[in-house]
Amino acid sequence: LVFEGIQQEIVLFLGEKSCGVHTGIRTIELEGVHELLTRGQDILHHTQLKEMDHSTEKWTMYFLDEDELDLLRWLRKHEQLTRAGHVIDVDVGIVTGLNEFFVLSEQQVEQYRLRPFTERLVGRSAQLSGAILTEQDWMNNVEKQFPAFLLHLPDVPFSQLPCELQSYIANGEAKGLHTGYKCRIRNHWYVVPSVWTPQAFMLRQIHQFP
């Protein structure tokens, strides 16, 4: 990983020459910064250059090869296929603004006595196996000390919170965690907005399978 502690498996570097001619994009997956240093620019010359369409396609599509891209473009235009957005309401999930503070393992929950103020959570797609999340799947994540709890605090002033919550929040503020953009623009930085449970969910970074 290029940035220590980052929660994504892939870091993408984009470079565009200002030559006035649009040529395409190359996407390269590496195991870590050491591979970037050892393979250098040579890897660019052995990676497929893919045609881009900025108007309708997101950059994440270009991790697929050219044949897969062609198939998706063909399916998008197919008359017998219906887009999900035409039959279901699609909305963004929970945005904590600071997973380090809000997404906790069971050990952390017990240490700070936060269990009454938590909701169940799947922290990362790598914690999922298959298309259905069962009660046992979530319990397995808890036993492995994966971050499986979301800190969901009442939207009230600091002085009205229980002592254990005040202590945890004060500890976060001592580390400067409340100064991040998404936290500091809230009325109370320690309250995650729009916490809700959907009828079904999919993660954006979806690990092994689409």
According to the model, what pLDDT value does residue 19 have? 64
Q: 52 and 131 in one domain?
A: no
Do 183 and 189 form a contact (C-beta atoms < 8 A)? yes
Whole-model pTM? 0.66
Do 57 and 51 form a contact (C-beta atoms < 8 A)? no
According to the model, what pLDDT value does residue 101 have? 97
Q: 197 and 151 in one domain?
A: yes
Q: Which of 47, 81, 115 is the last residue of a domain?
A: 81
DSSP 118: E
The pLDDT tens digits for 184-206 are 999 999 999 989 888 888 776 66
Q: 199 and 164 in one domain?
A: yes
| Model confidence band, residue 114 (pLDDT cutoffs 50, 70, 90) | very high
According to the model, what pLDDT value does residue 178 have? 95
Q: 139 and 40 in one domain?
A: no
Element (H, E) at 34: helix 33-39
According to the model, what pLDDT value does residue 46 have? 76
Q: 147 and 45 in one domain?
A: no
- Report how many domains make up the chain: 2
CA atoms of 137 and 162, how far apart (whole Å): 32
Task: Say what percent of the chain tops pLDDT 90.
Answer: 44
Give bridge partners of residue 118 from the DSSP assignment: 151
Q: 143 and 181 in one domain?
A: yes
Q: 29 and 99 in one domain?
A: no
Q: Which of 56, 81, 106 is the last residue of a domain?
A: 81
Q: 43 and 103 in one domain?
A: no
For 43, phi and psi rounded to 5 degrees? Answer: -65, -30
According to the model, what pLDDT value does residue 16 have? 63
**What is the average pLDDT score of the chain?**
84
CA atoms of 24 and 1, how far apart (whole Å): 25
Pairing of strands 103-104, 118-120: unpaired
12 versus 35: the higher-pLDDT residue is 35
The pLDDT tens digits for 145-161 are 999 999 999 999 999 99
* Per-residue pLDDT at 71 exceeds 80: yes
Q: 185 and 116 in one domain?
A: yes
Tell me which range, 41-45, 76-80, 165-169, is most confidently predicted by mean pLDDT: 165-169
Domain that residue 20 falls in: 1-81
Q: 98 and 188 in one domain?
A: yes
Q: Which of 61, 81, 101 is the last residue of a domain?
A: 81
For 120, phi and psi rounded to 5 degrees? Answer: -70, 150
According to the model, what pLDDT value does residue 14 have? 62
